[in-house]
Chain A
Amino acid sequence: MFYQDRKTEFSRILEHLAEFLDISESRFKEAEGRYQAVGKWLERDDSIVKKYNPAIYTQGSFRLGTVIKPITDEEKYDIDLVCELNLTNKQVSQKLLKGLVGIEVKSYVPANNMTNPVKESRRCWTLNYSDETHFHMDILPCIPDSEVFKQILTGRGVLGSIAEHSIAITDNTLPNYDYLDEDWLSSNPKGYSEWFKNRMKIQFETRRLIAAKSISAKAEDVPEHKVKTTLQRAIQLLKRHRDIMFKNNTENKPISMIITTLSAHAYNNEDNLYNALDAIIKGMPNYILTKNGALWIPNPVNPDENFADKWKEEPKKELNFRKWLVQIEKDLEVAVNQIGIHNVADRLKPVFGDRVVNEAIKRMGDDFRSKRECGLLSVAAGTGNLGNSGSITVRNHTFYGS
């Protein structure tokens, strides 16, 4: 019981920590505004892609609610966008599709008084906003995958409701890039996010309801992005720990896709953040499979795609992943066993960053202070533990003295 209380209290610190790792609401809104503006641009009347019903949507951590702040203020957020046109691989080559989207993305720049040129990468167009803005925007041109391919996916065990979101993407290093051909790379960001959300459904609904009750609203009135489950919070903490551990070796750091996928597999809807992290860290290796002698972390929405495809040629990447897992387990274990909030915080600072730990500590203070001011803070008889379940309500008062 005593140890359980410790873990609950430690989770409270971790929750606050993750809150500050998360993108701020204002920054989130700013990003949302930017990508909606790109969407509107593609849909405008004289857009050359308008007739293909362009759909712009987010993918990756923005979609999954697992975005974290960069370690330094100079670094920018990467917003990953998908630009899906209603065309088929019988109508366009990869190059033509990329070009169509490219024309519109390039014309967006001068039309919006931006100066930094658009950059092309293997699969994407990148919009670089001015230095004062905090984003890069990667735009992935794509078309819906063919019905045939979707059927192959369902035949391989992927749910129909997930396979239907599958898309075909371009890659300018492929030999068939510039002619009509049916063989395109496949991706499924919407399907992946469906899978991910399904993994945390119980916690999501519980927390959304709690959030709704606190403002006397209906669950559906609480925007999805404002509800964060212990899975999302755990992933944010894992990613930040990784960013700091590999800040001088970014090339070979464990990739977010692997961390996110393995975490979602190992998560069992724990409602306590420390317990969730513990289950995830211990469970992750169980979801690294072997296929034809190679380590295999399948994309849950496309079993033929291996997120660990680079591990074979670059064993350092696998090694770093395993080292990181051992390290974070140890770091959390040491922190949770400290006596005194200040000693816990001292252990968390080097692994998650001074600033977020200080912000979390301030939030812990402000939280209890405002609870006390509203008569919601209580003390447990016997121990003196503060919280909201004690039998003695803390009467409001004013600390005095120098």
Chain B
Amino acid sequence: MARKMGSKKINLALQSLHLKKLFPESTTRIQRNSLVWEGNLMPTPISQIYTLRLRYKLAKSPQVNVLKPEFIIPEGKRLPHTYPRNRLCLYYPGSGDWRGDMLLSKTIVPWISEWLYYYELWLVSGEWYGGGIHPKKHLFGLWTNTKDILKKMGDIAT
């Protein structure tokens, strides 16, 4: 059943339309089969304003980066729940958390806001309160080649 629903993917134009509708001040463009959304998010009224970029290729895993401000990473710490190059890990690939038949504006974008919220809390206490799964240690020992990983993530999400 899930697979069947997953096949009804929402096309990029429709995704773009919905992103613009919920975040009117953001920008979207579609180039070479990719949707690029750039917008500002503020997880709470006392939080910083973050500028985000989301890239989405139909049937692939959406990729999210914070453009500004730069991450603060306390000495000896590692930014939690990120892929290489500080790409945000927002959901568990392959779990059905996110599928191509879902609107980015109602899934990925709210999750980004949430990620940013837990990031600010993490800066206070060094703890991540958002829950989640960390891949097994031996796995990310092998994950040295960024290209491979990104490819892998994309494959799983399809």
Binding site for B on A (CB under 8 A): 2, 5-6, 8-10, 13, 336, 338-342, 344-346, 357-358, 361-362, 364-366, 368-369, 372-373, 377-379, 381-387, 391-392, 394-402
Contact = CB atoms under 8 A, between A and B. Distances in A.
Interface in B12-27: 22-25
Nearest to B119: A342
A386 B42 CA distance: 8
A342 B122 CA distance: 8
B68 interface: no
B76 interface: no
Most buried by A among B48, B110, B123, B132: B110
Interface in B99-158: 102, 105-107, 109-118, 120-121, 123-125, 127-135, 140
B74 to A, nearest CB: 10
A24 to B, nearest CB: 20
A262 to B, nearest CB: 28
Contacts of B93: 400
B133 A385 contact: no
Interface residues of B, number: 56
Contacts of A398: 91-92, 95, 97, 131-133
The majority secondary structure among interface residues of chain B is: loop
A351 B145 CA distance: 46
Nearest to A8: B45
A385 B43 contact: yes
Contact of B48 (A339, A364, A377, A387): A339
Nearest to A6: B45
Most buried by B among A9, A340, A394: A340
A382 B23 contact: yes
Contacts of B132: 398-401
A307 B43 CA distance: 45
B113 A386 contact: yes
B7 interface: no
A47 to B, nearest CB: 51
A363 to B, nearest CB: 9
Most buried by B among A362, A372, A401: A401
Contacts of B83: 401
B78 interface: yes
B94 to A, nearest CB: 10
- 3 A-B pairs closest in CB distance: A365-B129, A401-B89, A399-B132
Contact of B121 (A8, A364, A381): A364
Contacts of B36: none
Contact of A379 (B25, B89, B97, B109): B109
A399 B115 contact: yes
Contact of A395 (B23, B110, B113, B129): B110
A394 B111 contact: yes
A382 B91 contact: no
A373 B114 CA distance: 12
Contact of A394 (B23, B48, B110, B135): B110
A176 B126 CA distance: 62
Contacts of B45: 2, 5-6, 8-9, 383, 385
A366 B129 contact: yes
